[in-house]
Amino acid sequence: MLKVVSSEEAFEIISENLTSVYVGTERVSLGDSLGRVLSEDIISRENIPAFNRSTVDGYAVRASDTYGCGESIPAQLDIIGEILMGEGADLSVGDGQCVKISTGGMLPEGADSVVMVEHTDNSFDSLCLVYKAVSPFENVTAKGDDIKPGATVLRKGTRITSRHTGILASLGIKEVSVFMKIRVGIISTGDEIVPAEGETPVGKVRDINSHILSALMSEKGCKCTGYGIVKDIYDDIYDAVLRAVKENDIVLISGGSSAGTRDMTAGIISSLGETYAHGIAVKPGKPTIIGKIDGKAVFGLPGHPAASYFVCLRFVVPLINMLYGIKDNTRAVKSKILRNISSNHGREEIVCVKLSDEGAEPVFGKSGIISLLSESDGYIIIDRNREGLRCGEETEIHLF
Amino acid sequence: MLKVVSSEEAFEIISENLTSVYVGTERVSLGDSLGRVLSEDIISRENIPAFNRSTVDGYAVRASDTYGCGESIPAQLDIIGEILMGEGADLSVGDGQCVKISTGGMLPEGADSVVMVEHTDNSFDSLCLVYKAVSPFENVTAKGDDIKPGATVLRKGTRITSRHTGILASLGIKEVSVFMKIRVGIISTGDEIVPAEGETPVGKVRDINSHILSALMSEKGCKCTGYGIVKDIYDDIYDAVLRAVKENDIVLISGGSSAGTRDMTAGIISSLGETYAHGIAVKPGKPTIIGKIDGKAVFGLPGHPAASYFVCLRFVVPLINMLYGIKDNTRAVKSKILRNISSNHGREEIVCVKLSDEGAEPVFGKSGIISLLSESDGYIIIDRNREGLRCGEETEIHLF
């Protein structure tokens, strides 16, 4: 029983049926957190900075003491001491007083601003002449200016990048709770498939999919296990699927590009669990199967490497993001298409593009052509309700 | 002796003086190559596909035998056999003959195209009726269509992503030669700096830079070693720099935000090697020092974490790309600025932005504000010859 769905229906199927896959959590050190996905909100328990901090070298003052001063009528303040870098300020600045301070130094009590050293003259022993007025909090990062206690600084579902490690370190966080890496089992099927390494007998084809799918899933934060190349034999595929489902959260079965093998894969998924879609109206990638076995997501992917890659990018990666709770992972940008593209009405189409200053140049090729992938900068998705794109049209480019 | 340079001059200094840093190479397996940078061109020694391959299920024919056929006048061809998947084709298709073939199957000699099974009727035993003409190579990926022998499929300086693993696997490449990871030594200086983990005594500040710089350099493919937090003491910094230079290719010394400490860092670099710039006219990041010791690149970075991060992104990452031979690593996209931005004429300025469908919203803040970094999607660089940007202006956004 064939059930070809649209890509919208496929997304619905995935979010309704497959997001119940359970992903555990673990605690990792800040140093090991890069690339992992937060499984908790990070809430500050502190003020950052923890104290009023000078952003310049100069004199900590009461701003009101400088009002009205200028080049010709300097304010005269008594220097009552110096704040040493990294030391608490046990001085208190009163009316007509000031304290020497360095960039990063802690403002003493009573002071509310800092006069830059360039705007002072301290050649009179303990007297400081101020030639430029400051307003309260001028040249100061106030306590809590950056982060206040109770503030949610990072949300669950954030994939940690270098930019996030800064905020975690600033809060003194040693460890964070992250999602366990989603385990993806990868099975290559096909009588014609041989291991990628080495020579290929006549009529055979190298196993590209195991490599490209494993690399893509690794990039998206998954832990991949290969289950080798399985011949187009029902029992062999059945056994491999059973084993992969047991040991993983998501199973990808690539190959079986011919209708007969596709049906076999679909039959195996149905016999062990449920099949929701047998074909998606998308090019490349039509022979895609979506199913579930024992609460685990199972995808039957096309045999052609580029098709397999795109189906994975278009349907499996969104599932991974849903499971990790990653909200917005798009990198779409707008660009002009430099050529007419015709597409099949009723079927969504993915076309690779190369970007230049002029716009996006479509890179055409049959779905088996793997070299196109490495030459492109991104891809466009032509809606199934469109009959193509006109040259010059502004289009959303999904960057790789 | 202060020598403040423009960012253009800084790039010149870097490419003229620091690109002689030697980076070795090593061989890694395809599975370990993800994220590494090729140190050799990858040249195909094969045709991919290795044979004329059917892209559909159907019958391999001579196209000329189908010319003029149609729904009412089918061509009649003798079925002389079947190509089994993954088998060599030892049949030869002559005039008026055809051979059954599956998607991915190897075209037999004599055949130049494939008629889709949907356009045939084979209910007449060994006779096949063809209802639609095909042209030569229709429904076929010809031998070498994807890659030909001698073709350079990947260039030296390519950072390997999942998309590249496909082409490497398709060529049967087991191992590739990649650059050794560039070794980056990171020193945090400052009397006020304490380890990020745990409580912070009054007046002290956590060491954010070690974490954020190490994470950023790791993301760019480097191997980082931390040399801890060093107090603002000449001999201590001297010793740390000496050790870090010995064990790394690039050394980053962050901190020393006050003029005195900056001069000390510059003095140490000068006494051990050479200082090319003492300050870059860029905001944030003015107190940046560029030098070289024993053929290794040495950067003095600002103490403020966000400033330190941006200087690293703007000046150290390009050096890393130059050393790896990575040509184009830009991810700049165009977007409308949603607000006026004023900037300092004569000084390049970096401003974080958040992207939405409407455009790019600038995120303002003092350079010490670390929370801005994790909230932004990218940044803009305002040229030193501009006085700012006008609301609505199309601007290049550098995505993180």
Could you tell me the CATH number of the domain that includes residue A260?
3.40.980.10
Count of domains for chain B: 4
Residues of chain B contacting residue A366, judged by C-beta atoms under 8 Å apart:
55, 141, 145
Helices (H) and strands (E) in chain B, counts: 8, 28
Length of chain A: 400
Q: Return the structure tokens found at B177.
A: 């030669």
Q: How far apart are the C-alpha atoms of A278 and A294, rounded to whole Å?
A: 19
Which residues fall within 8 angstroms of residue A4, CB to CB, at 6 or more apart? A277, A278, A279, A280, A281, A286
Boundaries of domain holding B360: 332-399
Cβ(A255)–Cβ(A303) below 8 Å: yes
The DSSP 8-state label assigned to residue A2 in this structure reads: -
C-alpha distances (whole Å) from A339 to each of A138, A279, B240 are 55, 29, 57
Q: Tell me the three state secondary structure of residue A246.
A: helix
Chain mean position to CA A51: 33
Residue B344: per-residue pLDDT: 77
3-class SS shares of chain A: helix, strand, coil, % to 5: 25, 35, 40
CATH number for the domain including A395? Answer: 2.40.340.10
- pLDDT of B377 above 70: yes
Residues of chain B contacting residue A198, judged by C-beta atoms under 8 Å apart:
172, 174
Length of chain B: 400
Cβ(B210)–Cβ(B230) below 8 Å: no
CATH number for the domain including A41? Answer: 3.90.105.10
List the one residue out of B258, B278, B221 whose CA is nearest residue A54.
B258
Compute, in degrees rounded to 10, the torsion defined by CA atoms B167, B172, B175, B176: -40
Residue B210: per-residue pLDDT: 95
Contact yes or no for A163 and B374 at CB 8 A: yes
Residue A211: per-residue pLDDT: 96
List the one residue out of B278, B272, B261, B287 whose CA is nearest residue B239.
B272
Residue B222: per-residue pLDDT: 97
Cβ(B189)–Cβ(B230) below 8 Å: yes
Contact yes or no for B104 and A192 at CB 8 A: yes
Residues of chain B contacting residue A42, judged by C-beta atoms under 8 Å apart:
none
Which helix (H) or strand (E) is A301 found in, with range?
Answer: strand A296-301
Cβ(A68)–Cβ(B156) below 8 Å: no
Q: Is residue B2 part of a domain?
A: no
Q: Is residue B41 part of a domain?
A: yes
Contact yes or no for A166 and B309 at CB 8 A: yes
List the one residue out of B389, B378, B368 whose CA is nearest residue B313.
B378
List the one residue out of B116, B82, B110 whose CA is nearest residue B96.
B110
Compute, in degrees rounded to 10, the torsion defined by CA atoms B224, B225, B228, B232: -80
Per-window interface: B 245-304 vs A, CB < 8 A: 257-259, 303
Verify that A215 and A238 share a domain, yes or no. Answer: yes
Residues of chain B contacting residue A379, judged by C-beta atoms under 8 Å apart:
none
Q: What does the pLDDT average to over B196-206?
A: 87
Sign of CA dihedral B240, B242, B248, B250: positive
Verify that B63 and B132 share a domain, yes or no. Answer: yes
* A118–chain B Cβ distance below 8 A for any pair: no
Phi-psi region of A161 (alpha: psi -120 to 50; beta: other; left: phi over 0): beta
Cβ(B368)–Cβ(A167) below 8 Å: no
Q: What angle do CA B202, B204, B210 make, to 5 degrees?
A: 150
Q: What is the mean pLDDT of chain B?
A: 92
* B207–chain A Cβ distance below 8 A for any pair: yes
Q: How many CB atoms lie within 10 A of CB A114?
A: 29
- pLDDT of B259 above 70: no
List the one residue out of B292, B226, B227, B290 whose CA is nearest residue B262.
B290
Q: How far apart are the C-alpha atoms of B324 and B378, rounded to whole Å?
A: 24
* B233–chain A Cβ distance below 8 A for any pair: no
Residues of chain B contacting residue A257, judged by C-beta atoms under 8 Å apart:
102-104
Q: How far apart are the C-alpha atoms of A110 and A107, rounded to whole Å?
A: 8
Contact yes or no for B373 and A172 at CB 8 A: no
DSSP for A315-362, please give it: IIHHHHHHHHT------EEEEEBSS-EE--TTSEEEEEEEE-SS-EEE
Residue A80: per-residue pLDDT: 96
Residue B343: per-residue pLDDT: 84
Chain mean position to CA B373: 21
Verify that A231 and A98 share a domain, yes or no. Answer: no
Contact yes or no for A203 and B400 at CB 8 A: no
Cβ(B106)–Cβ(B83) below 8 Å: yes
Q: Return the structure tokens found at B391.
A: 């609301």
Percent of chain A surpassing pLDDT 70: 96
Contact yes or no for A367 and B55 at CB 8 A: yes
Verify that B306 and B215 share a domain, yes or no. Answer: yes
- pLDDT of B330 above 70: no
Q: How far apart are the C-alpha atoms of B5 and B13, rounded to whole Å?
A: 9
Verify that B186 and B308 share a domain, yes or no. Answer: yes
Render pLDDT for B110-168 as a digit per residue (tens, 0 to 9).
999 999 999 999 888 899 999 999 999 999 999 998 899 999 999 999 999 999 999 99
Contact yes or no for B55 and A368 at CB 8 A: yes
Contact yes or no for A303 and B103 at CB 8 A: yes
Per-window interface: A 187-206 vs B, CB < 8 A: 190-193, 196-206
* Residue that is written with structure tokens 């990039």 in the block: A219
Verify that A357 and A299 share a domain, yes or no. Answer: no
Over the Cα atoms of chain A, what is R_g? Answer: 31
pLDDT tier at B371, thresholds 50, 70, 90: confident
Q: Is residue A146 part of a domain?
A: no
Q: Is residue A391 part of a domain?
A: yes
Contact yes or no for B167 and A199 at CB 8 A: no
> Which of B141, B156, B190 corresponds to the end of one domain?
B141
Verify that B38 and B171 share a domain, yes or no. Answer: yes
- In chain B, which residue's Cα lies nearest the Cα of A232? B85
> Which of A160, A179, A198 corresponds to the end of one domain?
A179
Chain mean position to CA B399: 13
Contact yes or no for A85 and B232 at CB 8 A: yes
Contact yes or no for B153 and A374 at CB 8 A: yes
Q: Is residue A378 part of a domain?
A: yes
Distance from CA of A66 to the nearest CA of B (A): 23
> Which of B141, B170, B201 corresponds to the end of one domain?
B141
- Strand pairing class (B332-336; B341-342): unpaired
Q: Is residue B254 part of a domain?
A: yes
List the one residue out of A345, A339, A346 whose CA is nearest residue A395.
A339
Q: Is residue B60 part of a domain?
A: yes
Verify that A354 and A388 share a domain, yes or no. Answer: yes
Residue B55: per-residue pLDDT: 86
Verify that B289 and B191 share a domain, yes or no. Answer: yes
Q: Is residue A1 part of a domain?
A: no
Per-window interface: A 165-184 vs B, CB < 8 A: 165-170, 172, 174
Q: How far apart are the C-alpha atoms of B89 and B109, rounded to whole Å?
A: 7
Verify that B221 and B275 share a domain, yes or no. Answer: yes
Verify that B221 and B173 share a domain, yes or no. Answer: no
- pLDDT of B290 above 70: yes
As beta bridge partners, residue B27 has B177
DSSP for B184-239, please give it: EEEEEE-TTEE-SSS---TT-EE--HHHHHHHHHHHTTEEEEEEEEE-S-HHHHHH
Helices (H) and strands (E) in chain A, counts: 8, 28
CATH number for the domain including B101? Answer: 2.170.190.11
Verify that B287 and B359 share a domain, yes or no. Answer: no
Residue A172: per-residue pLDDT: 94
Render pLDDT for B1-59 as a digit per residue (tens, 0 to 9).
568 999 999 999 999 999 999 999 999 999 999 999 999 999 999 999 999 999 889 99
pLDDT mean values, one per 10 residues, chain A (400 residues):
86 96 96 96 94 92 96 95 86 95 92 96 90 95 92 95 94 96 96 87 92 96 96 94 98 78 87 94 89 97 91 96 84 85 86 89 73 88 90 90
> Complex ipTM, two decimals?
0.90
Q: How far apart are the C-alpha atoms of B208 and B257, rounded to whole Å?
A: 14
Task: Phi first, then psi: give them for residue B311, nearest 5 degrees.
Answer: -65, -40
- In chain A, which residue's Cα lies nearest the Cα of B332? A333
Cβ(B275)–Cβ(B319) below 8 Å: no
Distance from CA of A133 to the nearest CA of B (A): 20
Q: How many CB atoms lie within 10 A of CB B1?
A: 7
- pLDDT of B364 above 80: no
3-class SS shares of chain B: helix, strand, coil, % to 5: 25, 35, 40
Question: In angstroms, how far is the first alpha carbon of chain B from the final one?
Answer: 35
CB pairs under 8 A between A and B: 253
Sign of CA dihedral B130, B133, B137, B141: negative
Amino acid at position B87, single letter: E
Which residues fall within 8 angstroms of residue B267, CB to CB, at 6 or more apart? B234
Question: In angstroms, how far is the first alpha carbon of chain A from the final one?
Answer: 36
Cβ(A144)–Cβ(A48) below 8 Å: yes
Q: How far apart are the C-alpha atoms of A116 and A101, rounded to whole Å?
A: 10
Cβ(A249)–Cβ(A182) below 8 Å: yes
Task: Phi first, then psi: give them for residue A45, nearest 5 degrees.
Answer: -110, 10
Q: What angle do CA B252, B257, B263 make, to 5 degrees?
A: 80
Q: How far apart are the C-alpha atoms of B330 and B337, rounded to whole Å?
A: 19
